[in-house]
Structure 1
């Protein structure tokens, strides 16, 4: 089984946003002019034998809902065997954000919260995140975020693992944190934070297998690292087949491969019994 822990089924208003101009330059993709059928996303997953995806909602501080929680919930409801939802909230209205997170988890069945710090230009140690961290602990769901530089046209400082993820993990040791995009060019910092904190994990979204930093691959080959890294794509930026190409060249044993592709995600997001 393979689980993609970071993907979007894009709406036109998400796809057309000018902050993604740099990504379109790199990938050659054109913005959507109309709604994308879910069959298109399912076909991309099927081509690479990806069984399940964590679909992210997106909320922008300027434009509001780029992909709404309810739009994600509708896709999940139609295909519950293929998707689960990750909520997005308005970071700048903390109480409303907490209420929306609780609605998404308790009523819509979402499995976690994702906040992308560069989108808000606010580091994860900002006071406005802290009610959400407490709510995630209370609800028993992970906080998913981004680490490393930004491909989109936004500042990168908020993606530093040290001091930001390290400090949040110190303040909320019960909070499960899944840090996506490997942390480059601070990957060694991200690995150090994941080693240090029991509940901090890394996902490989936005990187193909062949572009994973060598220090992360070496970490994945260790017993600790094999339990700390999750597969992700950031689809549609990277499709699933391209993301997985070269997997056999990583030098992971069968147990480490299974943990990376599915077991870690199943355990962390409560998707069912994970094998050991």
Structure 2
């Protein structure tokens, strides 16, 4: 069995956890309260409980400032080398600074990707400010990670549509590896269509427990999409153990299961 890789989690700062826009998420997860401050050891313990070997931890940059900085992610990663790997964020409002910060995060901090959330900025990923970052991702050889589907936090959902937005980015940048997180619901079939159409477009299942995966994504994982779907949690919203409950009911063969749980992420992120 291959190792398990969590393609999307975050080790949150208190300012990230307390942001008012996450009120909806706190309401959904009220039955599983979590502490105000999550330590790196707590995160590693949650990974161990779910059998996760490596987690890709995201920085968060928003228009109102850094919610989790690249250096804060790097500090957590360095406290547990090989277990937590950084995914950079960048300030979309300052495109050249964003490019330089991405370059620093990859070359100096050892990060393995870039994640920018269109809903957080109120613009789709076809916005011109993304394009210098896409070019730099290609030059650095790292994926661009983003969110598709409706927006759980209290922000509009339009920017999460796979068609037209992910489709158009992939057409403009065919070399860009794109990892579209959160499955794409309620546009899951669109997301599958875009991932099937474009060689370098992938889907991760973060923010959903296995029991809540739409049937079409499970069928895709069993068949032509076995090399296209990556396991993710969106921890601490969902712990790895909780996210994996129900996976055994999917009827995945050994190859499809190993690719989903870690093989695809190891290849896409060059772990």
User: TM exceeds 0.5?
Assistant: yes
| Counterpart-to-counterpart distance in 2, 1:104 and 1:68 | 10
Structure 2: stretches of 5+ with no match in the other structure? none
Q: What corresponds to 1:138 in structure 2?
A: 139
Q: What corresponds to 2:198 in structure 1?
A: 197
Query: CA offsets, 1:175-210, max 9 Å, x none?
Result: 000000000000000000000000000000000000
| Counterpart-to-counterpart distance in 2, 1:267 and 1:228 | 11
| Counterpart-to-counterpart distance in 1, 2:35 and 2:110 | 28
Structure 1: stretches of 5+ with no match in the other structure? 272-276
TM-score by structure 1 length?
A: 0.95
* TM-aligned CA distance change 1:144 to 1:31, over 3 Å: same
| Counterpart-to-counterpart distance in 1, 2:236 and 2:50 | 14
How far did 1:79 drift?
1.1
More relative contact order, 1 or 2 (CA 8 Å, 6+ apart): 2
| Counterpart-to-counterpart distance in 1, 2:133 and 2:166 | 15
- For residues 102-181 of structure 1, the aligned pairs below 5 Å read 102-181=103-182
Q: What corresponds to 2:95 in structure 1?
A: 94
Q: What corresponds to 2:185 in structure 1?
A: 184
Q: What corresponds to 2:208 in structure 1?
A: 207
Residues 16 and 32, structure 1, Cα contact 8 Å, conserved in 2: no
> Aligned-residue CA RMSD in angstroms?
1.0
Q: What corresponds to 1:234 in structure 2?
A: 234
| Counterpart-to-counterpart distance in 1, 2:48 and 2:38 | 17
Query: CA offsets, 1:235-261, max 9 Å, x none?
Result: 001111110011110111000000000
Residues 180 and 205, structure 1, Cα contact 8 Å, conserved in 2: yes
Runs of 4+ in 1 over 6 A off after TM superposition: none
| Counterpart-to-counterpart distance in 2, 1:260 and 1:181 | 14
Residues 54 and 85, structure 1, Cα contact 8 Å, conserved in 2: yes
Residues 15 and 32, structure 1, Cα contact 8 Å, conserved in 2: no
Residues 1:247 and 2:250 are matched in the alignment: no
| Counterpart-to-counterpart distance in 2, 1:174 and 1:36 | 37
How far did 1:36 drift?
2.1
Query: CA offsets, 1:95-120, max 9 Å, x none?
Result: 00000000000110100000111000
Query: CA offsets, 1:1-52, max 9 Å, x none?
Result: 110000011110000000000000010165754x421111111111111111
| Counterpart-to-counterpart distance in 2, 1:156 and 1:199 | 24
Q: What corresponds to 1:274 in structure 2?
A: none
SS of alignment partner, residue 226 of structure 1: coil
SS of alignment partner, residue 225 of structure 2: helix
Residues 15 and 31, structure 1, Cα contact 8 Å, conserved in 2: no
Q: What corresponds to 2:40 in structure 1?
A: 38
TM-score by structure 2 length?
A: 0.97
| Counterpart-to-counterpart distance in 2, 1:133 and 1:36 | 32
| Counterpart-to-counterpart distance in 2, 1:204 and 1:270 | 19
The alignment of Structure 1 onto Structure 2 pairs a total of residues equal to: 268
